[in-house]
Amino acid sequence: MKAQAFTLEGVMASLLLLVVLYSFFQSTIVISPMWSEITDAQLKLIGYDTLKVLDYYRTSSDEIYPNQSLQGMIVHLNSTFKPNQDFIYALERMIYLADYRLELCWANLSTNAVECRALVDKKPTPEAVAASRIVVIDSGEFPASSPFYGRGYPIVFEVRLILWRP
Amino acid sequence: MDRKGRLSLDMLIGLSIFLVTFIFIAQFLPTVFADVRSEIGLAHEAYKVTVMLAETEGAWSNGTHNGTNWEDYESQWGDTDFVFLPGLTEGEPDYLEFDKLKALQNATENYYNKVREMLGLLTPDRNYNFHVSLESLDSKPYNRTLVTDRDGNVVLDAGADIPSSGYISRYERNVWVNSVYDLVGAYYIGTAGPRNVPNLCRVNVDDIDCNFTYPLRFFAIEVFGKENDPTNVWWLGVCLQKTGTPSSCNAKPDTIQVGYGSPLTSSNVKWEDTLAVKTYELTTILNNIMRDEGFSDGDTVYIKIGIHNTNATLYYSGTIDYLAGKAVAKLVVYVW
């Protein structure tokens, strides 16, 4: 008679184990580690492509950088480090529906340091991705109102675009 | 005392049931991820296709020769010894060539399975369908806006029909296209001869009225010179309004002026330049004026173009965006 009780417990324990495991893995709690990379990859591509499209390659030094380009945005910065509206329009048109933070870093040869400023200072979520692009602008391009005026050497800038889904 | 070794029957049965269950779960668990794996696989295939299309200029080979101008060998696409990778770029990632876009359209229409094979979507152990299109930046999956060329034909919308259900992976790439004037309509608006205008415009005796939507995507005017007597004055005016058609849009002699409201006066002119033989790219100027006047996306803008003694062509597109000096759109790839 005792034998029956132990067997029944074994059956019930196995069934319970099975049901629990089945429900656990069928639920949305368990996410494959690859999933976040899928949404990241699309956003990363958008960031990369956006910076590439906005990078304006001049065919002659007489050409003026469009305001909407990375170079045009940097050249027209003043002490407030606020990007011009044309650039913001072009950027937002391309990243469409994603939220973003924009940072600018540059090499300061006088102090041998890399300085950075947030041009659009929004707080990213933990799922944010980043893309960046290096541009070089000759010192003669900057107007007197620019914080980069009069450096006397070509300045290397890194434009960093951090994107996330709101 | 019982000297015989004896295993409890209960324990044996319990152990057996436990082991069977354990083995069953071990076999069952990988299949839990099967659906997810196929979703992940699709995403990788779509990503791979976008990289091949948007980041490479492509290649071809017929066994003896090779090159990157696969678009020039249309008569050989179907040949068994001719293989090609239908990359779309001009040699730089995201910089697409108009001719290659049209070639991909033709190749996919006529040799769909061959293109699938070349993109790695059709192999002995893999069989995916795809669809690729060139769409406006604000195109949505449920309301697609396809980019059209200067003749109003869709540039790229090729592949199998996109299913309405099931696992589909979609990737988009922001690109720019060479050249912009293949993608915009050219309309003669000068005073020298018969005018033709976009669908949303109407030719009057002395001017042209248009109803467009904010923001404008591409709007440029190329001035070729005076219509006849070079000593006569010439001018070109562009007037914008949020409601109602502008009454008139006469600019100052020898100038091009853009203003909000009509008629043009010193108080409502927002931009002006000396009229000369050149192309005036007005997209950003017009959009900035409308933005400052409180236009929202989708608002109708009434534009009047006043023109006098001038030979000019209007370049306009409602599908391609002109940003940072480039014709920008997005390449969208679906794989299932």
Instruction: Give me the pLDDT at residue A149, please.
Output: 92
Q: Tell me whether residues A18 and B43 touch, CB distance under 8 A.
A: no
Q: In chain A, which ranges are E strands?
A: 99-108, 113-120, 129-137, 155-164
Mean pLDDT of chain B: 89
A interface with B, Cβ–Cβ below 8 Å: 2-3, 5-7, 9-11, 13-14, 17-18, 21-22, 25-26, 32, 34-35, 38, 41-42, 45-46, 49-50, 52-54, 56, 66-69, 72, 85-86, 89-90, 93-94, 96
Q: Tell me whether residues B18 and A53 touch, CB distance under 8 A.
A: no
Best mutation target among B11, B20, B21 (most A Cβ atoms within 10 Å) is: B21
Per-domain residue ranges for chain A? 1-30, 34-164
The pLDDT confidence band at residue A1, using thresholds 50, 70 and 90, is very low
Average pLDDT over residues B73-91: 92
Q: Tell me whether residues B174 and A50 touch, CB distance under 8 A.
A: yes
Pair B202, B308 in one domain? yes
Whether the predicted pLDDT of B126 surpasses 70 = yes
Instruction: Give me the pLDDT at residue B252, please.
Output: 93
Share of chain B above pLDDT 70, in %: 95
Best mutation target among B92, B96, B174 (most A Cβ atoms within 10 Å) is: B174
Closest residue by Cα to residue B8 from A14, A4, A17, A15:
A4
Contact A145, A128 (CB under 8 A): no
Pair B173, B191 in one domain? no
Q: Tell me whether residues A45 and B33 touch, CB distance under 8 A.
A: no
Instruction: Give me the pLDDT at residue A130, please.
Output: 94
For residue B26, being part of any structural domain is answered with no
The pLDDT confidence band at residue B133, using thresholds 50, 70 and 90, is very high
The pLDDT confidence band at residue B37, using thresholds 50, 70 and 90, is low
Closest residue by Cα to residue B82 from B73, B91, B69:
B73
Among A27-41, B84-98, B214-228, the minimum mean pLDDT is found in A27-41
For residue B24, being part of any structural domain is answered with no
CA distance A87 to A70: 8
DSSP code string of A60-99: STTSPPPTTSHHHHHHT--TT-PPPHHHHHHHHHHHTT-E
Q: Tell me whether residues A56 and B10 touch, CB distance under 8 A.
A: no
Instruction: Give me the pLDDT at residue B21, please.
Output: 83
Whether the predicted pLDDT of B35 surpasses 70 = no
Q: Tell me whether residues B14 and A6 touch, CB distance under 8 A.
A: yes
Phi-psi region of A15 (alpha: psi -120 to 50; beta: other; left: phi over 0): alpha
For residue B282, being part of any structural domain is answered with yes
Residue of B nearest to A49 (CA): B174
Q: Tell me whether residues A41 and B43 touch, CB distance under 8 A.
A: yes
On chain B, the residues whose CB falls within 8 A of the CB of A19 are none
CA dihedral B170, B171, B177, B182 (to 10 degrees): 0
Average pLDDT over residues B269-298: 92
Instruction: Give me the pLDDT at residue A27, please.
Output: 58
Q: Tell me whether residues B288 and A18 touch, CB distance under 8 A.
A: no
Pair B189, B279 in one domain? yes
Q: Tell me whether residues A14 and B13 touch, CB distance under 8 A.
A: no
Among A32-46, A87-101, A124-138, B174-188, the minimum mean pLDDT is found in A32-46
Which residues fall within 8 angstroms of residue B118, CB to CB, at 6 or more apart? Answer: B83, B84, B85, B86
Average pLDDT over residues B69-91: 92
Best mutation target among B48, B178, B323 (most A Cβ atoms within 10 Å) is: B323
**Residue A50: its H or E element:** helix A35-54
Q: Structure tokens of B233?
A: 């004055």
Q: Is B333 helix (H, G, I), strand (E, B) or coil?
A: strand
Among B34-38, B96-100, B243-247, the minimum mean pLDDT is found in B34-38
Pair B172, B87 in one domain? yes
Q: Tell me whether residues B14 and A93 touch, CB distance under 8 A.
A: no
For residue B145, being part of any structural domain is answered with yes
The pLDDT confidence band at residue A38, using thresholds 50, 70 and 90, is low
Among A10-19, B85-94, B257-266, the minimum mean pLDDT is found in A10-19
For residue B62, being part of any structural domain is answered with yes
Domain interval for residue B277? 185-318
Domain count, chain B: 2
- Please, how many CA atoms are within 13 Å of residue B227, restricted to the half-sphere of its CB? 19
* Smallest Cα distance from B47 to chain A, Å: 8
Contact B195, B310 (CB under 8 A): no
The pLDDT confidence band at residue B325, using thresholds 50, 70 and 90, is confident
* Smallest Cα distance from A74 to chain B, Å: 13
Instruction: Give me the pLDDT at residue B115, please.
Output: 95
